[in-house]
A and B are shown apart, each in its own frame.
Chain A
Amino acid sequence: TQLLEQSPQFLSIQEGENLTVYCNSSSVFSSLQWYRQEPGEGPVLLVTVVTGGEVKKLKRLTFQFGDARKDSSLHITAAQPGDTGLYLCAGGQAGGGADGLTFGKGTHLIIQP
């Protein structure tokens, strides 16, 4: 069974601060995805990383895939109240999305104005 350990599980910070969410596993993943989920809605894809060492930026969000493709991080710069939500990392074992994803437990992020 592949496990993704996501940390922290809960984080509450002030607007303008920076934060990093980590996603670690002992397994190698062919791809790793980060999602954001609002209450009562399905997860919305933020980014997919597939290459070891890959770094992708999405405005104030920076995503990194570990060299060994076992871990990933999400860094948010100058967090804003609109960033509040549940952030989920998820890994796929097979290429092409042929298998279901293994999800981390999620990080509940609250940005206080």
Chain B
Amino acid sequence: GAVVSQHPSWVICKSGTSVKIECRSLDFQATTMFWYRQFPKQSLMLMATSNEGSKATYEQGVEKDKFLINHASLTLSTLTVTSAHPEDSSFYICSAPLAETQYFGPGTRLLVL
């Protein structure tokens, strides 16, 4: 099956700093990738769609200047949480589609102190 990786798997940072999370499709190419956020005991919420070669599209209520997305190649998308605050602490998960199916990365746990 298709494999999606994320790096890092967890990160702790101080409030006000920026954190970059990478999402890679390992054995297939993806012109589109998706970023989700999941708070404890809750389901996944779509944050934005990462588009290779063009700007990302953000869901309503997600600040594009705070969550910077760059789809650098057909196998890599990055999410940068800028000026992170404790309320940004969450589990960030990316996915990439292959045919009718979304394949998810293992997630990145972010803790902002």
Q: A93: shortest Cβ distance to chain B, in Å?
A: 12
The distance in angstroms between the C-alpha atoms of A45 and B99, with both chains bound, is 13
Contact partners of B98 in chain A: CB under 8 A: 97
Query: How many interface residues does A have (CB within 8 Å)?
Result: 28
Contact partners of B43 in chain A: CB under 8 A: 88, 103-106
Q: B11: shortest Cβ distance to chain A, in Å?
A: 14
User: Which of A14-22, A35-43, A61-69, A75-83 forms contacts with chain B?
Assistant: A35-43
Cβ-defined contact, B34 with A41, below 8 A: no
Interface SS of chain B: helix, strand, loop or mixed? strand
User: Which of B12-20, B70-78, B79-87, B104-112 forms contacts with chain A?
Assistant: B104-112
How many inter-chain residue pairs (CB < 8 Å) link A and B? 72
For A89-113 the 0/1 string (1 means CB < 8 A from B) is 0101001111111111110100000
A48 at the interface (CB under 8 A from B): yes
Cβ-defined contact, B100 with A102, below 8 A: no
Contact partners of A45 in chain B: CB under 8 A: 1, 101-104
Contact partners of B26 in chain A: CB under 8 A: none
For B25-52 the 0/1 string (1 means CB < 8 A from A) is 0000000101010000111111001000
Q: B21: shortest Cβ distance to chain A, in Å?
A: 13
Cβ-defined contact, B49 with A100, below 8 A: yes
The distance in angstroms between the C-alpha atoms of A92 and B33, with both chains bound, is 14
For A41-74 the 0/1 string (1 means CB < 8 A from B) is 1111100101000000000000000000000000
